[in-house]
């Protein structure tokens, strides 16, 4: 089973603050990385899928970068809002593994 680490495990920020968190994963045989957002009492929803080293994806105030050589991805949220409160999950894919391996997530709470 692959070791996918997300840090921090949880954080609290004030509304309006910008924040970022990390997904670290083994770089060998890497194929692609998914990011999901999971709000309380809802279903996880896909945010991004990234594959190339140096990839950057953006969706509104949320963006993500990817470094496949060193095995990490950053997720950034600019000007956090209470509705951004959720657990953010990353899931790398390796080779033709056919399955996603999820990290344990970063739980973000944005305080009004």
Site of interaction with another protein (CB under 8 A): 1, 4, 6, 9, 31-32, 34, 41-46, 49, 51, 89, 91, 93-105
Residues 6+ apart with CB under 8 A from 41: none
Query: In 3D, which of 1, 8, 2, 29 has the Cα closest to residue 74?
Result: 8
Nearer CB in complex with another protein: 44/78: 44
Token couple for 37: 């957002």
Nearer CB in complex with another protein: 4/108: 4
Q: For the CB of residue 93, give the shortest distance to another protein in the complex, in Å.
A: 4
In the β-sheet with 19-24, what is the strand arrangement from edge to edge?
Answer: 5-7, 19-24, 72-77, 62-67, 56-59
Q: For the CB of residue 37, give the shortest distance to another protein in the complex, in Å.
A: 11
Q: For the CB of residue 67, give the shortest distance to another protein in the complex, in Å.
A: 18
């Amino acid at each position: 089973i692959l070791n996918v680490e997300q840090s921090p495990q949880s954080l609290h920020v004030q509304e309006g603050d910008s924040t970022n968190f990390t997904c670290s994963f083994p770089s060998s045989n890497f194929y692609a990385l998914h990011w999901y957002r999971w709000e309380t009492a809802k279903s996880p929803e896909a945010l991004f899928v990234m594959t190339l080293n140096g990839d950057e994806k953006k969706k509104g105030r949320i963006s993500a970068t990817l470094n496949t050589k060193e095995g990490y991805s950053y997720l950034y949220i600019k000007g956090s809002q209470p509705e951004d409160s959720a657990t953010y999950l990353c899931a790398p894919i390796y080779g033709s593994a056919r399955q996603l391996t999820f990290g344990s997530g970063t739980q973000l709470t944005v305080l009004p």
